[in-house]
C-alpha cells in the first residue's frame, strides 16, 4: 500500500514580545547574518536545540570527519551564553564526536535559568559552528505560550519553504514536530527530487542503520531546516516514515524478508533517530519516546508515541479487530503513563493540556460506514474509547490534541459520538479539540485532487458535524497560541514547494475558550 493510498481515508498576535524577548533590535540581524555564512567543513549539518525544561535543554550538532575513512573521535567544545556574540558565556564544556554515534554530539545542559533566551555554539578542529539561539521554559505564571506545529517533511517532494517561514518568526517558544521528519522511500517512489536537485541519499529505500544515518544527513543539509533548528528548540516524536510505511511493533507495509530482519531495521531507525534529533534520551530499554514538558503553570505538553509500540493494523472491514480491547496504539505502560500525566495536570489546575501525537484522533467514520483508514485511531477504537473514558471519569478539561500525518489541515471538536449527543453549534458533548497540521512538503491526499477538492470539503462538513475546518490541498503549518483563557490556532500556507520561496498566506483561525472543548472561528 503506497502512502498516497493510505491517506485516502476521506470518503467519496500583538503579544509576541512576551514569548521571546530578544534583548535589542540588533540581536536578530546579527544572529541571522551568522547563519547565512556558508557552513565550514566541520559543521555541515548546522546546530540544534530541543526538549527545553525550566533548567535545562539539549544542544546538538554533528562534526563531519575530514577523513571519511577515519574512525578516530573528534574533540568538541561547547559554549552557551546570554548574548548573541557569546561574549558572556555562562557554561561550557567538552564532548566527543565518535563514529558509534555517527559523529553527532548531544549535550544535556543543566543549571540554566527558567524562561531565558540563550545562545550557543560548538568548536572543533579550529572551526566554530553557527551560533544557535534557544530558550528554556518558565516555572511560574506565564501569559502566553506560542509554538509552531509541523509534520511530514519530504525532501524530494519539494523545498522546505515552511521551515523558512517559521525561521522568519522571532516570537516562538518552540517548534513541535509530530512525525515524518524524514521519509524512507527511494528517489521517485514518493517524490521526485532530481529536477530540483533534491535527490535523497541513499537514492534507494533506507533500510539499514547506515541508510537512515545518510538520509538524516541529507535532510540536515537543507538550509531552511538548519535555520529553523538554529532559531528555536524543537520538541519531536516520530511517525512511520522515520522507520517504514505504516510501521507497527512487528513490521510494516513495505517491509518483507528480502529487506532483512524487521527488529534490526526498527532498532537501526530508532538509533539513527536518537543520534540526529535534539531529544533527551530515555534510560528505559527498547523504544521510549514519550515524555512531558511543562510551560510554567500555563501548559502541560504531553508527547506520546502511537507508532513504535502499536499492534498491527487490521483490515478495514474487520469489525471485531477494530473494536478489540486487546489491541493498542501505545502499549500498556505508555497508556498508564499518559493517564498519570493527564490526571496530574488536571489536579494541578493547569489551564491547558496539549497532547502531541501522530495520527488523527477524532472520528471520521460515520455511523454505518466502513472504516476508510485503519492506521489512525479509527482503526483502534477500543484504545480511543479508553482514552475518552478516562477523560470523562477524571474530568480532564481543556485538552488540545496536536496531530500530523494527514497531509491536510483539520480542526475538530472531539465528542465521543459526533452523530449522537453532540451539538455542533455549542460544542455540548465535546471532550477535547484536535488540530491537524498540513504537510511541510509531502503531497496532499489524492481524495482532494483537482476540481473535486471544494466539493470534497463541502461534503465533509455535512458528513462530519464536529468538523470546524478542513483544507485538503495546501502545505503549511499551524501557529498555536495558549493564554490563560483562550487557545488560538492559525493555519499558514505556502503557495508552492517546487519553487524556493518564503512566501506564505494566512488561512483559517480557530479559537477554543477555556472550559468549552469547542472550536470556533476567530
* Chain center to CA of 417: 28
Residue 128 confidence (pLDDT): 97
Residue 216 confidence (pLDDT): 98
* Cα separations in angstroms, 31 against 37, 134, 147, 164: 10, 12, 20, 15
* Cα separations in angstroms, 51 against 98, 237, 329: 23, 11, 23
**490/485 Cα distance (integer angstroms):** 17
Is the pLDDT at 9 greater than 60? The verdict is no
pLDDT (average), residues 351-359? 98
163 membership: H or E segment, kind and range: helix 161-167
% of the chain residues with pLDDT over 70? 92
Q: Give, in degrees to the nearest 5, the angle at Cα 52 between 46 and 54.
A: 145
Is the residue at 228 inside a domain? Answer: yes
Helices (H) and strands (E) in the chain, counts: 11, 22
DSSP label of 39 = P
Residue 502 CB-density burial (10 A; 0-12 exposed, 13-18 middle, 19+ buried) = middle
**327/304 Cα distance (integer angstroms):** 17
Cβ atoms within 10 Å of 151's Cβ, excluding its own: 28
C-alpha cell at 444: 496532499
pLDDT (average), residues 93-114? 97
> Which CATH number fits the domain that encloses residue 241?
3.60.21.70
Tell me the sheet residues that pair with 415.
Answer: 430
Is the residue at 62 inside a domain? Answer: no
> What are the tens digits of pLDDT across the range 390-418?
999 999 999 999 999 999 999 999 999 99
| Mean of the per-residue pLDDT values of the chain | 91
Is the residue at 106 inside a domain? Answer: no
Is the residue at 507 inside a domain? Answer: yes
Residue 265 confidence (pLDDT): 98
Is the pLDDT at 6 greater than 90? The verdict is no
Is the residue at 48 inside a domain? Answer: no
**318/416 Cα distance (integer angstroms):** 21
> What are the tens digits of pLDDT across the range 508-522?
999 999 999 999 999
**189/128 Cα distance (integer angstroms):** 38
Is the pLDDT at 338 greater than 60? The verdict is yes
Helix (H, G, I), strand (E, B) or coil at 468: strand
Is the residue at 320 inside a domain? Answer: yes
Helix 381-394 / helix 332-347 crossing angle, nearest 10 deg: 20
Tell me the sheet residues that pair with 467.
Answer: 412
Is the residue at 54 inside a domain? Answer: no
pLDDT (average), residues 167-172? 95
| Under 8 Å between Cβ of 497 and 508 | no
Is the residue at 77 inside a domain? Answer: no
* Helix, strand, coil percentages, rounded to 5, for the chain: 25, 25, 50
* Domains: count for the chain: 1
> Could you tell me where the DSSP H helices lie in 260-316?
262-276
**Nearest Cα residue to 246 out of 7, 501, 512, 517:** 7
> What are the tens digits of pLDDT across the range 420-472?
999 999 999 999 999 999 999 999 998 787 657 778 888 898 899 999 999 99
- Residue 117 pLDDT level (bands cut at 50, 70, 90): very high
**376/241 Cα distance (integer angstroms):** 15
Range of the domain at 199: 3-12+139-521
Residue 1 confidence (pLDDT): 37
* Chain center to CA of 133: 19
**344/332 Cα distance (integer angstroms):** 18
Q: Is the link from the previous residue into 202 a cis peptide, with omega within 30 of 0? A: yes
Is the pLDDT at 36 greater than 70? The verdict is no
> What are the tens digits of pLDDT across the range 257-315?
999 999 999 999 999 999 999 999 999 999 999 999 999 999 999 999 999 999 999 99
Residue 367 confidence (pLDDT): 65
Is the pLDDT at 8 greater than 50? The verdict is no
Amino acid at each position: 500500500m503506497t502512502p498516497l493510498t493510505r491517506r485516502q481515508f476521506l470518503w467519496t498576535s500583538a503579544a509576541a514580545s512576551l514569548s521571546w524577548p530578544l534583548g535589542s533590535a540588533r540581536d536578530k540581524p546579527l544572529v541571522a547574518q551568522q547563519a547565512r555564512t556558508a557552513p565550514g567543513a566541520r559543521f555541515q549539518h548546522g546546530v540544534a536545540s530541543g526538549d527545553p525544561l525550566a533548567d535545562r535543554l539539549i544542544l546538538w550538532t554533528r562534526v563531519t570527519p575530514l577523513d571519511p575513512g577515519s574512525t578516530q573521535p573528534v574533540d568538541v567544545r561547547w559554549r552557551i551564553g546570554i548574548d548573541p556574540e557569546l561574549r558572556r558565556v555562562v557554561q561550557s564544556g567538552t564532548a566527543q564526536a565518535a563514529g558509534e554515534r555517527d559523529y553527532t554530539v548531544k549535550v544535556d545542559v543543566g543549571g540554566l535559568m527558567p524562561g531565558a533566551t540563550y545562545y550557543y555554539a560548538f568548536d572543533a578542529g579550529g572551526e566554530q559552528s553557527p551560533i544557535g539561539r534557544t530558550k528554556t521554559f518558565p516555572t511560574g505564571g506565564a501569559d502566553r505560550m506560542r509554538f509552531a506545529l509541523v509534520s511530514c517533511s519530504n525532501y524530494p517532494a519539494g523545498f522546505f519553504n515552511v521551515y523558512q517561514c517559521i525561521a522568519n518568526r522571532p516570537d516562538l517558544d518552540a517548534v513541535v514536530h509530530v512525525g515524518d521528519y524524514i521519509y524512507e522511500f527511494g528517489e521517485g517512489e514518493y517524490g521526485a527530487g532530481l529536477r530540483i536537485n533534491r535527490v535523497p541519499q541513499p537514492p534507494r529505500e533506507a533500510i539499514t542503520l547506515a541508510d537512515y544515518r545518510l538520509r538524516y544527513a541529507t535532510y540536515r543539509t537543507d538550509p531552511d531546516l538548519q535555520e529553523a533548528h538554529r532559531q528555536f528548540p524543537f520538541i519531536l516524536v516520530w511517525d512511520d516514515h522515520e522507520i517504514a510505511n505504516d510501521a507497527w511493533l512487528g513490521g510494516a507495509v513495505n517491509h518483507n524478508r528480502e529487506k532483512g530482519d524487521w527488529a534490526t531495521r526498527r532498532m537501526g531507525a530508532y538509533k539513527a533517530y536518537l543520534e540526529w534529533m535534539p531529544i533527551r534520551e530515555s534510560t528505559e530499554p527498547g523504544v521510549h519516546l514519550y515524555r512531558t514538558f511543562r510551560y510554567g503553570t500555563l501548559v502541560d505538553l504531553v508527547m506520546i508515541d502511537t507508532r513504535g509500540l502499536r499492534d498491527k493494523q487490521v483490515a478495514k472491514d474487520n469489525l471485531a479487530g477494530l473494536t478489540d480491547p486487546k489491541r493498542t496504539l501505545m502499549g500498556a505502560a505508555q497508556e498508564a503513563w499518559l493517564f498519570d500525566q493527564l490526571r496530574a495536570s488536571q489536579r494541578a489546575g493547569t489551564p491547558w493540556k496539549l497532547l502531541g501525537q501522530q495520527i488523527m484522533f477524532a472520528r471520521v467514520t460515520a455511523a454505518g460506514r466502513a472504516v476508510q483508514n485503519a492506521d489512525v485511531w479509527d482503526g483502534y477504537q477500543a484504545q480511543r474509547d479508553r482514552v475518552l473514558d478516562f477523560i470523562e471519569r477524571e474530568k480532564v478539561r481543556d485538552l488540545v490534541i496536536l496531530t500530523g500525518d494527514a497531509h491536510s489541515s483539520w480542526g475538530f471538536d472531539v465528542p465521543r459520538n459526533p452523530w449522537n449527543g453532540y451539538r455542533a453549534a455549542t460544542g455540548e458533548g465535546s471532550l477535547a479539540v484536535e488540530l491537524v497540521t498540513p504537510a511541510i512538503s509531502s503531497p496532499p491526499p489524492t481524495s482532494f485532487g483537482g476540481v473535486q477538492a471544494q466539493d470534497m470539503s463541502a461534503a465533509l462538513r455535512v458528513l462530519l458535524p464536529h468538523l470546524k475546518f478542513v483544507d485538503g490541498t495546501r502545505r503549511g503549518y499551524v501557529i498555536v497560541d495558549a493564554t490563560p483563557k483562550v487557545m488560538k490556532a492559525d493555519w499558514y500556507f505556502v503557495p508552492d514547494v517546487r519553487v524556493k520561496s518564503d512566501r506564505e498566506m494566512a488561512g483559517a483561525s480557530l479559537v477554543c475558550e477555556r472550559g468549552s472543548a469547542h472550536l470556533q472561528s476567530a
